[in-house]
Amino acid sequence: MKDSKSNKFIALYYIPSSVMADWAKTDPDQRKSTEEKMKAEWQKWMEDHGKMVKLTEAVGKTKQITASGISDAKNDICLYTIIEADSHEAAAEIFKNHPHLQIPQSSIEVMPVRGL
């Protein structure tokens, strides 16, 4: 195992599946308006922190692999971001007022990426 200090961190964005299901039932006009507002705020956040952000992507359906085999699974992760920062605290700090947190019951977890 490599024992080097990494400046890479992964942020996982969570939204409970029940919140997503309720959102899908929202009036399409209201949903569009809210999504456009959040998109603009996200773009502003990216302008402010873009030098630290290396990659952001959405994730899809989950497969769980165990000693018993492979099965469909469910979790609340909807996106991930890879960032570079001087410390774990600095990495977490940039997400403090992230637009994602406007979503009810949402959260973001930040953890170091360690080399093997």
Give the model confidence (pLDDT) of 29-86 as tens digits.
Answer: 999 999 999 999 999 999 999 999 999 999 999 999 999 999 999 999 999 999 999 9
Q: Could you report how far apart the first and last alpha carbons of the chain are, in Å? A: 5
| Helices of type H across the chain | 17-24, 28-49, 88-93
Query: What is the pTM for the complete model shown?
Result: 0.87
Q: Which domains does the chain have, with CATH numbers?
A: 8-112 (3.30.70.1060)
**What are the structure tokens assigned to 54, written together?**
């290396």
